[in-house]
A and B are shown apart, each in its own frame.
Chain A
Amino acid sequence: MKLLFSWLVIGLISLSFTFKKGYDVGDLVTDFKLKNVDGKLVSLADYQNAKGFIIIFDCNTCPVSKAYNARILALGKKYPELGFPVILINPNSPELSEGDSYPAMVKYAKEKKYPFPYLYDESQETIRQFGATNTPHVFVLNKTSEGLRVAYIGAIDDNTRNASKASSHFVEDAVNDLLAGREVTTPKTKAIGCSVKLKNS
């Protein structure tokens, strides 16, 4: 009976994903379990003390991702100790983007000395669940009494080519709002980026 119930739940969840194109701000997030570049599996549930998360769909190959790499590293140095771990997820299919294979991710993370997990969404279930469309694409999650809720979706800031010329730092502002107990002032933004390389899309 218990088994039947869990299958029913899984069925309903996957059904709702079929009809819904990813998360919107305010939605509750379902956890994932994905392989990190160190070979270990990582879930959001592993971070018991986190106040929230900065989830970044990113990859090795996209020029926009490369332009933002130093800024992603800076977020990864600043926010985990404030209670917002940074987690990178590569959603690209290596069949469509050779340079985004798991071995290439391992190498890239080593080169860039990633202090955060860099997860491989091999089945592309997580990308479909979140509905990220480009790289880099950020989802800031806030831990509430009902679970993790999406508090921000979008870009890191408003200037891809030059970090020092950015006038709005969307992700930092969103996390700072949450840390101060405020509503996120700008919960949704967009950026020009590389499309996520989805199989059978």
Chain B
Amino acid sequence: MKYILASIFSFILLSASAQQMASLKDLQKIMDEPGRIKVINFWATWCGPCIKELPYFDEIHRKNKNVSILLVSMDYDLDPNPEKVKRFIARKKILSPVVILTEENPSGWIDKIDKNWSGALPATIIIGASGKRKLIQGELKKDELEKYINEASQ
């Protein structure tokens, strides 16, 4: 019993401390890693449509082990204090890995993430096992996200 409690506790701790600060280079490294299908979602705590679609990403993280989800918070642009993001993740019980992108001057790096991305949130990049990338701008519905992931699996 003690053991179970301890593992639950460490699990909660782990997921609560899962938000890391990331530079553009860190993010690019993750995006370039070969292997599993990757879904990179750009969001912010202040973005209504982002919050609506976050549970869909989290559900895939829990259910589909062939897909790795990364939620990239863009909150730094308006608020450099990570506490708000941390509280949000805890409150919404989000289990997917979250990083906070800590870069100044978005005009200098939005194109480096994807030259077709306008910078509007939300935006999602799906990277197939072959490395092929697909950018989706705007809010995703659950079935749309599943469809894009299926396409990336082929």
In the complex, which residues of chain B have a beta carbon less than 8 angstroms from the beta carbon of A201? Answer: 138
User: Measured between alpha carbons, how far is A167 from B106 in the docked complex, in Å?
Assistant: 12
Bin chain B's interface residue count.
Answer: 20 to 34
B137 within 8 A of A: yes
In the complex, which residues of chain A have a beta carbon less than 8 angstroms from the beta carbon of B47? Answer: 194
Chain A facing B: main interface SS: loop
Give the contact stretch, choosing among A102-110, A118-126, A153-161. A153-161
Option from B80, B106, B137 in Cβ contact (under 8 Å) with A191 = B106
In the complex, which residues of chain B have a beta carbon less than 8 angstroms from the beta carbon of A97? Answer: 48
Check A192–B77 contact: CB distance below 8 A.
yes
User: Measured between alpha carbons, how far is A195 from B107 in the docked complex, in Å?
Assistant: 16
Known: A133-B118, A133-B137, A195-B121. A161 touches B106 (CB 8 A): no
A196 within 8 A of B: yes
What string of 1s and 0s marks CB contacts (under 8 Å) between B54-79 and chain A?
Answer: 00000000000000000000100111
Check B110–A192 contact: CB distance below 8 A.
yes
| Interface-central residue, B44, B49, B105, B139, by most chain A CB under 10 Å | B105
Task: Count CB-based A-B contacts (< 8 Å).
Answer: 70
Check B77–A160 contact: CB distance below 8 A.
yes
B119 within 8 A of A: yes
Check B118–A190 contact: CB distance below 8 A.
yes
Check A63–B78 contact: CB distance below 8 A.
yes
In the complex, which residues of chain A have a beta carbon less than 8 angstroms from the beta carbon of B117? Answer: 190
Check B120–A161 contact: CB distance below 8 A.
no
Query: Nearest-CB distance from B150 to chain A (Å)?
Result: 22
What string of 1s and 0s marks CB contacts (under 8 Å) between A157-193 and chain B?
Answer: 0111100000110100000000000000000011111
Known: A160-B77, A161-B79. A195 touches B120 (CB 8 A): yes
User: Measured between alpha carbons, how far is A193 from B122 in the docked complex, in Å?
Assistant: 9
Query: Nearest-CB distance from B5 to chain A (Å)?
Result: 40
User: Measured between alpha carbons, how far is A196 from B49 in the docked complex, in Å?
Assistant: 11
Query: Nearest-CB distance from B49 to chain A (Å)?
Result: 7
B104 within 8 A of A: yes
User: Measured between alpha carbons, how far is A154 from B119 in the docked complex, in Å?
Assistant: 10
User: Measured between alpha carbons, how far is A133 from B135 in the docked complex, in Å?
Assistant: 15
Check B79–A195 contact: CB distance below 8 A.
no
B111 within 8 A of A: yes
Check A195–B122 contact: CB distance below 8 A.
yes
Query: Nearest-CB distance from B107 to chain A (Å)?
Result: 4
Residues from 56 to 115 in A contacting B, C-beta threshold 8 Å: 63-64, 67, 97
Residues from 110 to 153 in A contacting B, C-beta threshold 8 Å: 133-134
Check A155–B78 contact: CB distance below 8 A.
no
B88 within 8 A of A: no
User: Measured between alpha carbons, how far is A191 from B79 in the docked complex, in Å?
Assistant: 15
User: Measured between alpha carbons, how far is A194 from B43 in the docked complex, in Å?
Assistant: 10
B46 within 8 A of A: yes
User: Measured between alpha carbons, how far is A193 from B47 in the docked complex, in Å?
Assistant: 9
Query: Nearest-CB distance from B18 to chain A (Å)?
Result: 22
In the complex, which residues of chain B have a beta carbon less than 8 angstroms from the beta carbon of A155? Answer: 106-107
**Contacts A192-B106, A192-B120 given; 4 further ones with Cβ under 8 A?**
A134-B121, A161-B78, A167-B105, A190-B119
Q: List 7 A-B contacts (CB under 8 A).
A: A159-B104, A161-B78, A167-B105, A190-B117, A190-B118, A192-B110, A195-B139
